[in-house]
Amino acid sequence: MTPAGYDAQVAAGTRAIIHAGTGNGSMLEQLISTLFGLRQQGVQIVRASRTGAGIVTRDGEQPDSRLTGWRRPT
């Protein structure tokens, strides 16, 4: 998937995207900024694994917290 594919889906009216990556829901570096930008526009982004087993961990392989501004409650 390229950034243009995600942008085209949003232009067509998509309001949520499930990115099913390999392993721990991995994504190409070039997609991280694209998906973050779409999230800033109000598009819901879900990172999932397409392996069929296991879990996707927050900040495991992708910088989820840095990109979303999420912080663990204290």
Residue 9 confidence (pLDDT): 94
Residue 30 confidence (pLDDT): 82
Residue 70 confidence (pLDDT): 57
Residue 50 confidence (pLDDT): 84
> Mind listing the pLDDT tens digit of every residue in the chain (74 residues)?
788 999 999 999 999 998 888 887 788 878 888 888 898 899 998 888 888 777 787 777 776 777 666 555 55
Which two tokens mark 73? 């409650």
pTM metric for this prediction: 0.71
CA-based end-to-end distance of the chain: 37
Query: DSSP letter at 58?
Result: T
